[in-house]
Structure 1
Amino acid sequence: SVLVLGAVVALNVKAPLAAALGVIGVFAIFHGHAHGAEMPENAAGAAYAAGFMIATALLHLAGLALGYVIGRAGERQGVFVTR
């Protein structure tokens, strides 16, 4: 997924929304499978899934907060900070 995303950015590919969502969906399935395969055999499935969902939500919130702070700094300090 990193190589594909890097190629898309480097080649400035403008894919239709449906194609982009399809690629994201395929990578998401494989990513989710990898985490499911890592689950210990003695772990409770619901608790394990809940932990992943809570951790994912917290990581998204942290990313949004960081993006907001960088955006605000870019408004004050210019595009250089945002880049």
Structure 2
Amino acid sequence: MRTIKISLAIMAVAAVSGCATTGDGASWKCSAQGLANSHYTGSDIAMIHLQGFSTGGSYKVTQNAQGTEATGVTANGTPFKCVK
């Protein structure tokens, strides 16, 4: 019985490890003055939530030629940048 539990634990660790992302799946980090929260995955839209607002909004971004940086401006004129 103990052998079965150990085997199941090893299989669970292997399954979770297989979910790790590398390469193009690298995460993006966004920055802006007063940034409370953000979410960006490399598309043409970023979700930016600034302090002082109850929710965030979706804003169009422009990526650089290398695809490693995306910039945009929120509705109140705050510029933001997301870097891979």
The answer to whether the superposition gives a TM-score over 0.5 is no
Highest relative contact order (Cα 8 Å, sep 6+), 1 or 2?
Answer: 2
User: Which has the greater radius of gyration?
Assistant: 2
TM-score, normalising length: structure 2: 0.27
Higher strand share: 2
